[in-house]
A and B are shown apart, each in its own frame.
Chain A
Amino acid sequence: MKVNNRLFLSTLGIISTIAIIGLLFLSYIKLDEPLFFEHYYEQQVTVLSDGDLDSHGEEFELKYLTNAFEDKTVIHVEFPEEPDLAVQASEYPFGISPSSTPTPEETKGPYSVRTVYVQPLELFGAEQFDQTTLTQVKLFFSDNSSMTVDIGEVNFYTVSPDQLDTEPLNYFSSTSTSEGDTSHFYEVKSEVTLTGIHSEHLDKYADWINFKINDQPLETWIGKTFQSGETISGSSEMVENRSRNILDRFTEIKLRPELTLTDAEGQQHTSRTFEIEDREAFTFFNLLEYVKARGAL
Chain B
Amino acid sequence: MSAAYKKLFWGVFFANIQLHFGAITILPGFVGFLIAYSGLSDLDMETETASKSFDLPQGTLLALVILTAIYSAFNLFTGSQYETLPLVAFIPTLFSVMELVAFHKILEVSVTEFQARDFIYGVEKYSRRDRIYILLKGLSALLLTLNLVFSSPVILVAGTLLEVAAIIYLLVIFHSLKKDTEEMEIEYFTDLY
Chain A residues near B (Cβ < 8 Å): 1, 3-5, 7-8, 11-12, 14-16, 18-19, 22-23, 25-27, 30, 67-69, 71, 107-110, 112, 284-285
Q: A68-B84, A284-B150 are in contact. Are A5 and B108 (CB under 8 A)?
A: yes
Q: A4-B130, A7-B131, A107-B84 are in contact. Are A284 and B151 (CB under 8 A)?
A: yes
Binds A, one of B36-44, B66-74, B139-147: B139-147
Please tell me which one of the listed residues A4, A69, A109, A285 contacts residue B108 in the complex, with CB atoms under 8 A apart: A4
| Number of B residues, CB within 8 Å of A | 30
A12 touches B108 (CB 8 A): no
**Which residues of A sit under 8 angstroms from B141, Cβ to Cβ?**
15
Give a binary string over B130-171; 1 marks a CB under 8 Å from any A CB, 0 the rest.
110011001001100110111110000000000000000000
**Which residues of B sit under 8 angstroms from A69, Cβ to Cβ?**
82, 84-86
B84 touches A3 (CB 8 A): no
11 A-B interface contacts by CB (under 8 A)? A4-B104, A4-B127, A8-B134, A11-B135, A12-B100, A12-B138, A19-B93, A22-B90, A69-B84, A71-B81, A284-B151
Cα-based distance from A28 to B52 in the complex (angstroms) = 42
Cα-based distance from A7 to B107 in the complex (angstroms) = 14
Cα-based distance from A16 to B112 in the complex (angstroms) = 27
Chain B residues near A (Cβ < 8 Å): 81-82, 84-87, 90, 93, 97, 100-101, 104, 108, 111-112, 127, 130-131, 134-135, 138, 141-142, 145-146, 148-152
Given contacts A11-B135, A22-B90, A109-B150, 10 further A-B contacts (CB under 8 A): A4-B104, A4-B130, A8-B138, A11-B134, A12-B97, A14-B138, A15-B93, A26-B86, A110-B149, A284-B152
Q: A4-B108, A7-B135, A69-B82 are in contact. Are A22 and B142 (CB under 8 A)?
A: no
